[in-house]
Amino acid sequence: MKKSSRIFIAGHSGFVGNALTQRLKALGFKNLILKTHQEIDLTDQAKVNKLFKAWRPEYVFLLAAKVGGIRANNTYPADFIYQNVAIQANVIQAAYEYKAKKLIFPGSACMFPKYCSQPMKEDSLLTGPIEPTNEPFAVAKIAGVKMCQAYNRQYKTDFISVVPATIYGPGDHFDINGHVMAALIEKFSGKEVNVWGSGKPKREFIFIDDLASALIFLMQNYNGSQIINIGTGIEISIKNLAQKIKEITLFKGKLTFDRSKPDGMPRRLLDSSALLNMGWQPKVNLERGIKLTYEWYKSKHNKIKKE
């Protein structure tokens, strides 16, 4: 990408999209195509085509998606599969039709089999059953990956797919339907914290700014149909994560685990050796990342309370 390249960030106002937009601006990219959901409904192919015809983006970051934690996936399965499949199909088709030079599509670690060997290698995709609680979202994401690969094979496009570890950081949605880190931090603002599941599952986390850095790095340095994992190589149990957040937030209340609720995948550690061997490295470790996230949450929470 050149500083003058026309870059469409689908979902620029979302959690990942906003972080990526700010990083691209800081790096001097000035020709960013940014459209809100009110301006463009990405589930409508005709409207997506109209945008591509008018703006002719050269590079596409397909970050628009309906996302959420285990509770949201359980509650809105139809929304998760329909909205994600529709958005992906429309943007990928338009990127091909209007000759975008390159597109990057993030999948999700939940695409891998529930009992996948650890760490999860890129070629483990579709080698076993998916965790049922997030199956609609995972199936939608797998469809996006396979669509990119199919277009590359048939049309010789340059559409790449990546799989981030569990994302967290400032700008996330801090509520019960959010990603696990944000949902937990929100709970620690109360008098008692009840965590879904046994606390035994392990997760790998990547700070939002590190993910934005990796997306730009791969857009500039990787060409291929094989998916690329984006992780840190470090995992932590949900129980230990809750304890760490408890310490950082100085929480004095009661911490319990509801074993009647689903755990999700037992482990979700990515093998990110392919990306690391290209020369990219994460910069924010988990403890510092939680502190940065909590400070951001406090600043926003206090502002809301004052208003």
Residue type present at position 196: W
Query: How many domains in the chain?
Result: 1
What pLDDT score does 75 carry?
A: 82
Q: Identify whether 105 is part of a domain.
A: yes
- Residues 152-171: pLDDT tens digits? 999 999 999 999 999 999 99
By C-alpha distance, which of 140, 157, 40 is closest to 86?
Answer: 140
Q: Identify whether 97 is part of a domain.
A: yes
> What's the whole-number mean pLDDT along residues 263-278?
92
Q: At a CB cut-off of 8 Å and minimum separation 6, what does 275 contact? A: 214, 218, 228, 229, 230
Q: At a CB cut-off of 8 Å and minimum separation 6, what does 212 contact? A: 16, 19, 20, 22, 23
Q: Three-state DSSP class for 291?
A: helix
- Residues 172-212: pLDDT tens digits? 888 766 678 988 998 887 788 999 889 999 999 999 999 99
pLDDT at 307 over 50: no
Look over the chain and give the mean of its residue pLDDT values, rounded to a whole number: 92
Residue type present at position 286: L
The gap from C-alpha 217 to its chain's centroid, in whole angstroms, comes to 16
Q: Identify whether 152 is part of a domain.
A: yes
Q: Three-state DSSP class for 258?
A: strand
Q: Is the peptide bond before 119 cis (omega within 30 degrees of 0)?
A: yes
Question: How many angstroms separate the CA atoms of 120 and 2, rounded?
Answer: 34
- Give 303 or 135, the one with higher predicted confidence: 135
Q: Three-state DSSP class for 261?
A: coil
Question: How many angstroms separate the CA atoms of 202 and 227, rounded?
Answer: 22
Residues 62, 91: contact at Cβ < 8 Å?
Answer: yes
Q: Identify whether 183 is part of a domain.
A: no
Question: How many angstroms separate the CA atoms of 119 and 114, rounded?
Answer: 12
- Residues 18-34: pLDDT tens digits? 999 999 999 999 999 99
Q: Identify whether 291 is part of a domain.
A: no
Largest CA distance in the chain: 58
In this structure, of 178-187, 193-202, 218-227, 296-305, the range with the lowest mean pLDDT score is 296-305
Residue 303 confidence class, pLDDT cut points 50, 70, 90: very low
pLDDT at 1 over 80: yes
Residue 304 confidence class, pLDDT cut points 50, 70, 90: very low
Q: Pairing between strand 159-164 and 166-168?
A: unpaired
Enter the pTM of the model: 0.91
Question: How many angstroms separate the CA atoms of 226 and 206, rounded?
Answer: 21
Q: Identify whether 190 is part of a domain.
A: no
Question: How many angstroms separate the CA atoms of 136 and 78, rounded?
Answer: 7
Domain of residue 123, CATH code? 3.40.50.720
Residue 266 confidence class, pLDDT cut points 50, 70, 90: confident
Residue 295 half-sphere exposure toward CB, CA atoms < 13 A: 6
- Segment holding 166, helix H or strand E: strand 166-168
Q: Identify whether 153 is part of a domain.
A: yes
What pLDDT score does 177 carry?
A: 63
Q: Identify whether 251 is part of a domain.
A: no
Domain that holds residue 114: 7-171+204-233+269-284
> What's the whole-number mean pLDDT along residues 2-21?
95
